[in-house]
Amino acid sequence: MSEQPRRVLFVCVGNACRSQMAEAFARAYGADVMVPASAGLGPANRVAPDTIRAMLEKGLNVRDHFPKDLRHMLRLHFDLVVNLSGLSLPDYDAPIREWDVSDPISKSYEDHCAVRDEIERLVMDLILELRRDSGGPNLRGQGSGRLKL
């Protein structure tokens, strides 16, 4: 792969659920093509407990994540901004992609998990798109798979 990973910012309202999920999936699955971050329009004081629980079910620990303010994050350079908030974002010198994903903050845990699964699918689609655009992952052959004793 000749290109550098793209810097991608995921944005939602409080940076307590959707954008945290998207960032975690992107870090886990797409580190070869993106450097993800997340932020909120009006950051909450913590990541939602149901977000932490739902992500643990996928083997991803976001317990140490914390909500960040979009105003601070937009001082940094990003190649793509993904808006999950459903609201207008301030002007920024990067493409903004809109993802229509409902906010699970006040919904049941089951609804929270359905939103998590939708975000996982959208992030995987984005990763596959970025891999196609960059020529695919840089994988090396692993030989025959036989161990020498």
- Please, which pLDDT band fits residue 134 given cuts at 50, 70 and 90? confident
Whether the per-residue pLDDT at 139 is higher than 60: the answer is: no
Packing angle of the helix pair 18-29, 49-57 (nearest 10 deg): 30
Looking up tokens 């993904």, which residue turns up?
Answer: 82
How far is CA 103 from its chain centroid?
15
Residue with tokens 């886990």: 28
**Residue 42 carries which side chain, given as an amino acid letter?**
G
In contact, 78 and 89? CB cutoff 8 Å:
no
Instruction: Write out pLDDT tens, residues 15-73.
Output: 999 999 999 999 999 999 999 999 999 999 999 999 999 999 999 999 999 999 999 99
Amino acid letter, residue 79: D
Residue 137 has pLDDT above 80, yes or no: no
Task: Please give the helix or strand (H or E) that residue 138 lies within, else none.
Answer: none
Supply the pLDDT for residue 97. 97
Report the distance separating Cα 147 and Cα 142, nearest Å. 11
Cα–Cα distance measured from residue 89 to residue 108, given in angstroms and rounded to the nearest whole number? 27
Spatial distance between the Cα atoms of 32 and 96, rounded to a whole number of angstroms: 21
Q: Is the pTM of this model over 0.85?
A: yes
In the chain, what are the domains? 6-134 (3.40.50.2300)
Q: What is the pLDDT of residues 73-127, one digit of tens each?
A: 989 999 999 999 999 999 899 999 999 999 999 999 999 999 999 999 999 999 9
**Other C-beta atoms within 10 Å of 7: how many?**
16
Helix (H, G, I), strand (E, B) or coil at 9: strand
CB 12 within 8 A of CB 19: yes
Mean pLDDT of 2-6: 82
